[in-house]
């Protein structure tokens, strides 16, 4: 018999671990929070709102880490086995949400827990071990300061755990790299520095055994779910993106698209790469040549996913040469390739692997290296303090060398870059902040918004800083809008953000969202729970989640001034590509912001009024 209440498709229990006192508590899930904020990102944000004091240092014991599964986790719904982390980011100093593939979510929920709340700070390196009802805080000094794969292998060997989610070496430095991530097998929560928050609590890993608890959770309408899944798989297979392109090339498909649309930036957003410049090199054709086709691919893909967007590749250089691993995502291929002037998958694969072993976010790494290379190009760096050989555009050796320097905070430059581009530009000075590409401290991703203005509003209003995942407008803008206009962008961005908030709360993979439409979501949620959603509920719940997350940011002091775009995007026209000469002026972004705030019911400073949450 269940100890707590019964809410279909929820385990009903949250594990609360206090790293300071060693207390481990099993709290009943707040049913109203689950109904209102669903799971994953929304539910995590709701708990964080209660538990996180505004103004605290993200690397102090006062910070809180929350991991949440969703009502789809572990139910057998395709491509829905991810889970979400929320915390306060040491990179941006505001709210952070970040999801991950891998096995932690499914194993945790099948063990009888919807999520974990981690507070305080242990007196030495520890990992949390979970095997059904048995939860322990164990010594992790034997893996402190080790690379990601070594940590995972060592803890698995010692504990017998099936899943080990951990940080790498860069999190364990006395001053952790501010964009250190958390790694579940070959999948990760890269953005925003969750790994540094782990380390600040002396937490190295979470290890979970795949012990399945009988009746850990129950499904409301099992036969309805089976029928729905039967229909859904047909749609996923016939959808061109989820049935054909992603299985073949993974997210690299967007390399071709961005180059064709003239929005693929290069050399720290100084230039645009067009399709002929990348054809056969870092486009899908170039990627296809790298895929090790005879290798079993289950170790690079998420559980129960028919899309299988991950591909096996093998680095041809660097410390991990010859060892099969997961191929880069598009954003990584851009940041560690095009953004540093390299159009060669041999390099990108090795650089990706190095970042994943040090345990640092590939987008931020490519962002800070591109920034440093431009500083060197412009003569802003003291030649006595830096090695110019490591700051040459287009050099694989240079980028691999810089990854190592950042990963261990070596030398003056490696140390300042490890704090992110916003902080580094302040230390370098000489107006370098004009080409420090970030929003709210988070380095920008791969879509140059000067050629697709909705992505400008996306970066400006994304809840964790510059992020493409919260409202990816590219396809809609080129199909249904004028991409270099403010017209209609506020509504477009808000609509996608609200939908994505719900998908991240259920949790549905970003890629699968191309086939899992609102109609499917309603059928699925009403099969696994008794919530009785209608299609229009999705927008209402999504807006509720987004408003709450914005409050988490505004109570830390975020206002409209923080929603502006980097100087380069607002002041320097695009060079190259079909939208050459365009920029999003401050007037343009302010116009879109005011329309967007109005639609959300926020005031002119972008602050939600208390009656809309």
Q: Which stretch binds ligand SF4 (CB under 6 A): 254-262, 434-442, 505-513, 530-538?
A: 505-513
Question: What's the rounded Cα separation, in Å, for the pair 313 and 306?
Answer: 20
Q: Smallest distance from the beta carbon of 87 to ligand SF4, in angstroms?
A: 22
Tell me the angle at which helices 518-528 and 535-554 cross, rounded to the nearest 10 degrees. 90
- Residue 325's DSSP bridge partners are 313
Closest to 464 (Cα-Cα) out of 80, 205, 147, 84: 84
Question: What's the rounded Cα separation, in Å, for the pair 362 and 231?
Answer: 37
Q: Which stretch binds ligand SF4 (CB under 6 A): 356-364, 424-432, 488-496, 508-516?
A: 508-516
- Residue 503's DSSP bridge partners are none
Q: Among residues 101 and 420, whose Cβ is nearest to ligand SF4?
A: 101
What burial class does residue 18 get, using C-beta atoms within 10 Å of its C-beta: 0-12 exposed, 13-18 middle, 19+ buried? middle
Residue by residue, DSSP assigns 55-72 as: T--TTSTT--EEEE--TT
Joined tokens for residue 535: 């299609």
Q: Among residues 5 and 299, whose Cβ is nearest to ligand SF4?
A: 299
Q: Smallest distance from the beta carbon of 113 to ligand SF4, in angstroms?
A: 21
Q: Select from 202, 301, 325, 458 the one that contacts ligand SF4 (CB under 6 A).
A: 301
Q: Which stretch binds ligand SF4 (CB under 6 A): 37-45, 200-208, 306-314, 390-398?
A: 306-314
Q: Smallest distance from the beta carbon of 233 to ligand SF4, in angstroms?
A: 13
List of residues 6+ apart from 299 with CB closer than 8 A: 185, 186, 312, 326
Q: Among residues 184 and 562, whose Cβ is nearest to ligand SF4?
A: 184
Other beta carbons within 10 angstroms of residue 482's beta carbon come to: 12
Q: Select from 118, 403, 512, 516 the one that contacts ligand SF4 (CB under 6 A).
A: 512
Joined tokens for residue 316: 């041809």
Question: What's the rounded Cα separation, in Å, for the pair 407 and 392?
Answer: 19
Judged by CB under 6 A, the chain residues 214 through 253 that form the site for ligand SF4 are none
Q: Smallest distance from the beta carbon of 301 to ligand SF4, in angstroms?
A: 4
Q: Smallest distance from the beta carbon of 508 to ligand SF4, in angstroms?
A: 9
Q: Among residues 105 and 566, whose Cβ is nearest to ligand SF4?
A: 105
Contact between 317 and ligand SF4 by CB under 6 A: the answer reads: no
Q: Which stretch binds ligand SF4 (CB under 6 A): 175-183, 300-308, 456-464, 542-550?
A: 300-308
Q: Smallest distance from the beta carbon of 310 to ligand SF4, in angstroms?
A: 5
- Is the CB of residue 5 less than 8 Å from the CB of residue 47? no
Contact between 310 and ligand SF4 by CB under 6 A: the answer reads: yes
Q: Select from 16, 205, 305, 499 the one that contacts ligand SF4 (CB under 6 A).
A: 305
Residue 220 carries which DSSP code? S
Q: Smallest distance from the beta carbon of 229 to ligand SF4, in angstroms?
A: 15
Give the CA angle between residues 527, 529, 534 to the nearest 5°: 75
Q: Select from 254, 435, 511, 531 the one that contacts ligand SF4 (CB under 6 A).
A: 511
Question: What's the rounded Cα separation, in Å, for the pair 464 and 442?
Answer: 8
Q: Among residues 251 and 266, whose Cβ is nearest to ligand SF4?
A: 251
Contact between 101 and ligand SF4 by CB under 6 A: the answer reads: yes
Q: Select from 203, 236, 307, 354 the one that contacts ligand SF4 (CB under 6 A).
A: 307
Contact between 302 and ligand SF4 by CB under 6 A: the answer reads: yes
Q: Select from 137, 255, 348, 509 the one that contacts ligand SF4 (CB under 6 A).
A: 509
Joined tokens for residue 209: 């055994």
Q: Give backbone dihedrals phi and psi of 495, rounded to 5 degrees, phi first.
A: -60, -45
Contact between 308 and ligand SF4 by CB under 6 A: the answer reads: yes
Q: Which stretch binds ligand SF4 (CB under 6 A): 158-166, 174-182, 308-316, 420-428?
A: 308-316
Q: Sketch the per residue contact string, 247 through 286, with ligand SF4: x for CB under 6 A, - otherwise.
A: ----------------------------------------
Handedness of CA 207, 210, 211, 213 (dihedral sign): positive
Question: What's the rounded Cα separation, in Å, for the pair 79 and 105?
Answer: 12
Closest to 335 (Cα-Cα) out of 375, 384, 373: 373
Joined tokens for residue 48: 């964080």
Q: Smallest distance from the beta carbon of 82 to ligand SF4, in angstroms?
A: 6
Q: Which stretch binds ligand SF4 (CB under 6 A): 92-100, 133-141, 142-150, 297-305?
A: 297-305
Q: What is the 3-state secondary structure (H, E, C) of 466-513?
A: CCCCCCCCHHHHHHHCCCCCCCCHHHHHHHHHHHHHHHHHHCCCCCHH
Q: Smallest distance from the beta carbon of 506 to ligand SF4, in angstroms?
A: 13
Q: Sketch the per residue contact string, 70 through 89, with ligand SF4: x for CB under 6 A, - otherwise.
A: ---------x----------
Give contact residues for ligand SF4 (rule: CB under 6 A): 79, 101, 301-302, 305, 307-310, 509, 511-512
């Amino acid at each position: 018999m269940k100890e707590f209440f019964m809410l279909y498709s929820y385990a009903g229990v949250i594990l609360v671990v206090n790293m300071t006192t060693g207390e481990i508590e099993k709290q009943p899930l707040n049913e109203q929070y689950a109904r209102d904020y669903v799971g994953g990102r929304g539910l995590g944000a709701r708990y964080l709102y209660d538990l996180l004091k505004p103004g605290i240092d993200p690397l102090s014991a006062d910070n809180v880490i929350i991991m949440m599964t969703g009502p789809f986790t572990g139910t057998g719904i395709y491509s829905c086995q991810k889970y979400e982390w929320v915390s306060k980011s040491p990179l941006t100093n505001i709210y952070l949400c970040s999801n991950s593939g891998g096995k932690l979510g499914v194993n945790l929920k099948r063990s009888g827990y919807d999520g974990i709340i981690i507070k305080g700070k242990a007196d030495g390196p520890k990992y949390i071990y979970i095997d059904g009802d048995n939860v322990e805080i164990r010594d992790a000094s034997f893996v402190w300061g080790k690379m990601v794969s070594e940590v995972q292998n060592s803890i698995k060997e010692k504990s017998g755990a099936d899943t080990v989610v951990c940080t790498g070496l860069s999190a364990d430095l006395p001053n952790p790299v501010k964009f250190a991530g958390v790694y579940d097998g070959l999948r990760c929560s890269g953005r925003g520095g969750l790994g540094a928050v782990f380390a600040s609590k002396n937490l190295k890993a979470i290890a979970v055994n795949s012990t399945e608890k009988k009746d850990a959770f129950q499904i409301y309408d099992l036969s309805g779910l089976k029928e729905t899944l039967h229909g859904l798989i047909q749609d996923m297979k016939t959808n061109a993106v989820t049935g054909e392109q992603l299985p073949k090339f993974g997210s690299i498909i967007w390399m071709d698209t961005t180059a064709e649309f003239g929005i693929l930036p290069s050399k720290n957003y100084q230039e645009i790469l067009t399709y002929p410049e990348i054809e056969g090199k870092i486009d899908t054709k170039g990627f296809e040549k790298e895929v090790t086709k005879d290798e079993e691919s289950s170790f690079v893909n998420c559980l129960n996913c028919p899309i299988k967007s991950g591909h096996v590749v093998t680095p041809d250089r660097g410390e991990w040469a010859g060892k099969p691993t997961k191929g880069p995502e598009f954003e990584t291929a851009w940041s560690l390739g095009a953004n540093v002037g390299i159009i060669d998958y041999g390099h990108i694969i090795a650089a990706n692997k190095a970042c994943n072993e040090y345990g640092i976010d590939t987008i931020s790494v490519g962002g800070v290296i591109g920034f440093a290379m431009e500083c060197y190009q412009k003569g802003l760096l003291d030649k006595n303090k830096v090695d110019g050989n490591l700051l040459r555009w287009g050099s694989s050796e240079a980028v691999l060398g810089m990854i190592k320097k950042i990963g261990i905070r070596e030398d003056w430059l490696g140390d300042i870059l490890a704090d992110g581009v916003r902080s580094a530009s302040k230390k370098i000075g000489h107006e370098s902040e004009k080409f420090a590409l970030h929003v709210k401290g988070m380095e920008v991703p791969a879509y140059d918004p000067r050629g697709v203005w909705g992505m400008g509003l996306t970066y400006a209003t994304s809840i964790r800083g510059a992020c493409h995942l919260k409202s990816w407008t590219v396809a809609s803008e080129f199909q249904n809008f004028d991409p270099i206009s403010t017209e209609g962008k506020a509504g477009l961005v808000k609509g996608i953000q609200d939908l994505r908030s719900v998908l991240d709360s259920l949790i549905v993979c970003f890629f699968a969202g191309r086939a899992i439409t609102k109609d499917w979501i309603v059928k699925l949620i009403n099969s696994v729970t008794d919530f009785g959603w209608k299609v229009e509920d999705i927008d209402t719940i999504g807006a509720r989640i987004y408003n709450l997350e914005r409050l988490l940011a505004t109570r830390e002091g975020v206002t409209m001034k923080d929603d502006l775009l980097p100087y380069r995007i607002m002041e320097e026209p695009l060079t190259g590509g079909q939208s050459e000469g365009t920029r999003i002026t401050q007037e343009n972004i302010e116009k879109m912001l005011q329309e967007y705030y109005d639609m959300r019911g926020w005031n002119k400073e972008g602050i939600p009024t208390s009656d809309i949450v």
